[in-house]
Chain A
Amino acid sequence: MKRLSSERTKLLFEKLSKYIGANVKLLIDRPDGTYCFRETKNRVYYVSEKILLLSTSVPPENLVSVGTCFGKFTKTGKFKLHITALTFLAPYAQYKIWLKPSAEQQFLYGHHVLKSGLGRITENTQKYQGVVVLSMNDLPLGFGVAAKTAAECKHTDPMSVVCFHQADIGEYIRSEDALI
């Protein structure tokens, strides 16, 4: 478990701020204790300081995971968010997309969101803005990137892609082995 270098911290925060904007501050500045980001084997974990202290007693080769895995740094040096980060992205998300119940399954199988499946969308959503995808009864399903602005969405044909899929909770089953 090592500290993130300043470059990597920057990459991580840039990616997080795409989804939750200035709310990243709330992740670092928490009233219920100090939380921090740690890195092992290119994976970034969001851990409470208390648990981090406890984890030092476990030899690193035996330590599978501590806290919540937010994602990983790819070999090309980019940061990729994992679905496990959804727990922290969903409550702070500024831009959201709600799916019709008929489109939920398609999304959970890893497909993009089509206009026909779009239930609601946050006003003023810009193009390529990171969005959290929710079901109609506000259950977070995953996250993605808006393919069109909210205004454009109104006038496109129903088969065009509205939101690019990035991660969904179906991954807990589909890529169980790759998540940790």
Chain B
Amino acid sequence: MDVVTKVLEEAAKHAEQFKSIHVEKHLELEYDLGTLLAVDTNDLDLRKIRSKSDRDQYFKDLARDNTQLLLNKIWELPTERVEEAVVAKLPAPTFVLPREKPLPKQKPLTKWQKYAQEKGIMKTKKSKLAWDGTLQKWVPRYGFKRAAAEEEKNWLLPVPDRGDPNEDQFTKKSKIKSENVAKNEFQRLRNLAKAKNVKIPRVGFLSVDKLNSKQLGEVVSVAKASTASLGKFQGNLPKEKRAKNIGPLLPSGRKRKLAPPTPVQERKSNLDILDSILNKKPKLDIEKAVNRSLNTEQQEQSEGTKSQKKGGKRRKGGKKGKGAGKRTGTKPKGGKGIRKPREKTGRKRR
């Protein structure tokens, strides 16, 4: 018995160190166990808050009491044991937490979404695969392996009843498809522009507010070629260059592809090129000329037929004066009545 009382006494002493789990409150707290929230609506003790000595202790006690109450509530919830730990299942939270950031602005509806909303058209989820009757297998509606399936399926295309028999149905089909893609892209961009409140023309090309230098160059080049004579008589500014990559826009830029030449034509063009190379006028190569003369000189020397005589008599003084070139022995005559003011004929007048 002695032992029992001793143990009980010790337990009581031990328990005295801790505060009771029962807390008295004038008004009950408001709980939201889903977010582990307890809201104390009781009045605060203003006297204790103002005194410097008691303030900290008061807040600590208040926090401890309220936490105790919250934990009491949690212990009331159904609990279970998961790996040595007691776990309570929290209910769904009821307290509405305020947002940190403002609400996102609602995206403006696209034209189709607006229309579908008005008409009450619902979006239905479609499976990725669809059964194809002709191929007798599951074929994806779009994406990977769709194009291959399409090719397998449409290996032959019938010409429509009143269609042109010479028209290629495959190119027709691909053209329709590419036009559809372009249309979709156009509509997507139009929706974007509408969402951002950008004004766009209803038809025609979108223009840029400020053209950059490259675009300006292209515009200038196209405009210059847009005369009746295809820009032949349009002058160039200093340092002006024709813009690149506008070939197909200009009539002169379109390249005509010639058929491959026949062997005969090829041979002829080759011979023409060769003739132009062989018939080139040789430049006056002084070194070559000197070498050639040296060569002939050496040949003469080796032959040993060096002539000792000097060729001919030398004229003394040489030719001098104007009339020395040609001597016919007659006096220069006048114009014989014919006036030729540009041509200088006759004797020199002073």
Contacts and interface: CB of A to CB of B under 8 A. Distances in A.
B85 interface: no
A28 B291 contact: no
A63 interface: no
Interface in B288-317: 288, 291, 294-295, 298
B287 interface: yes
B267 A9 contact: no
A96 B221 CA distance: 57
Interface string A1-42: 001001001100110010001101100110000101100000
B291 A149 contact: yes
Contacts of B287: 127
Contacts of A25: 271, 274
Interface string A82-103: 0000000000000000000000
Contact of B278 (A6, A22, A124): A22
A124 B299 CA distance: 11
Contacts of A151: 291, 294-295, 298
Contacts, number: 53
B271 A3 contact: no
Contacts of B79: none
A25 B275 CA distance: 9
A39 to B, nearest CB: 13
Contacts of B266: 3, 36
Contact of A17 (B269, B277, B288, B294): B277
A149 B276 CA distance: 27
A29 B260 CA distance: 20
A142 B255 CA distance: 44
A24 B295 contact: no
**How many A residues touch the partner, as a band?**
20 to 34
B228 interface: no
B269 A13 contact: no
Contacts of B267: 28-29, 34, 36
B291 A126 contact: yes
B263 interface: yes
Contacts of A13: 270, 273-274, 277
**How many B residues touch the partner, as a band?**
20 to 34
Nearest to B266: A36
B78 interface: no
B261 interface: yes
Contacts of A138: none
A75 interface: no
A70 to B, nearest CB: 14
Contacts of A17: 274, 277-278
B273 A124 contact: no
Nearest to B278: A22
A54 to B, nearest CB: 15
B261 A10 contact: no
A150 interface: yes
Most buried by A among B264, B266, B276, B294: B266
Interface of A: 3, 6, 9-10, 13-14, 17, 21-22, 24-25, 28-29, 34, 36-37, 49, 124, 126-127, 149-152, 154
Q: Nearest 4 pairs between A and B by C-beta?
A: A151-B295, A34-B263, A149-B291, A28-B270
10 contacts: A3-B260, A3-B261, A6-B273, A13-B274, A17-B277, A28-B274, A124-B295, A127-B291, A149-B295, A151-B294
